[in-house]
Structures are given as structure tokens and as C-alpha cells.
Amino acid sequence: MTNNFHMGTNYLLKVITGKWKVSIICALGLRDYRYLELLKYENDVNHTKISKKVLTEQLNQLEEDGIITKKSYGTIPPKVVYSLTTIGQELAKKLTNLNFLGEKLAQVNQANISFDINAQQVKNLHKEEQD
């Protein structure tokens, strides 16, 4: 065992660092998404704005890093579907698995677990959506 036992973790962290990447990976863990679908989903779930430029950037990086793949149907208007690679699916599971610890930590810290509004507000939003 070397001192570099965390290099893989660091590499992985580098791959998933980016404001929306974890959210994207978790989303694609549930089902495939088209481009604008994903844009809407992210804006929706996180209650904050993601620009098309940034979404494109992060998708390209995730593809380059072997986490996701895109399939372009050559149609007009275009249709592009994003999905996880095999290793991407593994990653999605692990990330979801980290969720519990993250929530526990947030609770201990009494931290704001949402992007820009607090958990209670999120709950209220969901209540409103149900009404």
C-alpha cells in the first residue's frame, strides 16, 4: 500500500467536480434524457438557473471522462439522448449511496441542503406543486 491510496478518489472527484455534474449523473441514473429535457430537469429540481453553455460543457466533460454517452439521431429537428456508461452506472450507485451520509452531515450542521433555498422551502414548494 502506497501513500497514494486516495489518488483514485481524487481523480474521481476531479471528474465529478462541476456545479451540475452530480445532479446530471443522478438524473441519468433514473432514466435517459434528451438535452432540453435535462436542462429543464436541472432548473426544475435545483430551483436555480443552469445556462445551456454550462450544461453543454459539463455534458461534454462527462462524456470525455467516460461517464456518459450521447446518441444523436440524425433527424431535423435534432434529437440527442444522453445515458450513463457502465462505469457511469456504477458511479451513480455509489453517489446515491453517499446521499445518506451527506444528509446526516447536513442535519448535524443544520446546513442548507438545497442549492439556494432551505429544505423547508423545498418542502413547501413540493406541497404547492401537489395542490
Partner DNA sequence: CCGAATCCTAAGCGATACTG
Partner DNA sequence: CAGTATCGCTTAGGATTCGG
Print the binding letters for residues 5-44 with DNA: x by CB under 7 A, - otherwise: ------------xxxx-------------xxxx-------
Contact 62, 21 (CB under 8 A): yes
Check binding of 58 to a second copy (CB under 8 A): no
Q: Which stretch binds a second copy (CB under 8 A): 31-39, 51-59, 74-82, 94-102?
A: 94-102
d(CA 44, CA 37): 10
Check binding of 78 to DNA (CB under 7 A): yes
Candidate residues 57, 111, 118, 124; the one interacting with a second copy per rule CB under 8 A: 111
Q: Do β-strands 33-34 and 68-73 pair in parallel, antiparallel, or remain unpaired?
A: unpaired
Shortest Cβ 74–a second copy spacing (Å):
28
